[in-house]
Amino acid sequence: MERTLIIFKPDAVQRGFVGELISRFERKGLQIVGMKLTQISPQLAETHYQAHKGKGFYPGLVRFMTSSPVVIMALQGKDSIAICRNMMGATFGSKANPGTIRGDYGVSNSYNLVHGSDSPEAATRELGLFFKPEELIDWTPAVQPWVYDLTKGTPE
């Protein structure tokens, strides 16, 4: 099972979407293996978004991500990175399809509600930034056989 990092950004927290967004991921069949409400420090935001350092939007992004509490989740599931990226929708809310998180709740090209890892390598790096190993829980939900076809021993 693949793991990914999801951040409900300050705009999602301030707009009261946390419960709704958690529900969307859970209803899809993704498993929460770690979650916390936190205030990201400027240093952590700079480290997390270091790939964007030097770009014009970088200082505003760091300010935005440190402006309010965020909810950080580690989700697990078969192909969880691709599934979460599809659920989030296009980066800009104004261009995101209805039915996606950004398409249903976003209109801004700056405030886009949610971050999700974009690759297995990024997920490993990002999970390590936001969670200590002991904060991620290995467990098997009782509903798992109803989410995945496990008749061959691996999730289908």
The whole-model pTM stands at 0.95
Over 90: is that where the pLDDT of 61 sits?
Answer: yes
pLDDT in the model for residue 156: 85
pLDDT in the model for residue 120: 98
Which helix or strand (DSSP H or E) is residue 37 part of? strand 31-38
pLDDT in the model for residue 24: 98
User: Residue 95 to residues 68, 105, 110, 149: CA-CA distances in angstroms?
Assistant: 25, 12, 12, 34
pLDDT tens-digit series, residues 100-150: 999 999 999 889 999 999 999 999 999 999 999 999 999 999 999 999 998
Q: Is 115 a catalytic residue?
A: yes
pLDDT tens-digit series, residues 15-50: 999 999 999 999 999 999 999 999 999 999 999 999
pLDDT in the model for residue 53: 94
CATH of domain 2-147: 3.30.70.141
CB atoms closer than 10 angstroms to residue 143: 11
Catalytic residue among 61, 83, 115, 131: 115
Residue-wise DSSP of 91-142: SSGGGSPTTSHHHHH---SS--SEEE--SHHHHHHHHHHH--GGGSPP---T
Over 90: is that where the pLDDT of 154 sits?
Answer: no
pLDDT in the model for residue 81: 98
Please name which of 127, 114, 126 lies closest in space to residue 88, comparing C-alpha atoms. 114
Query: Can you give the residue ranges of every domain in the chain?
Result: 2-147
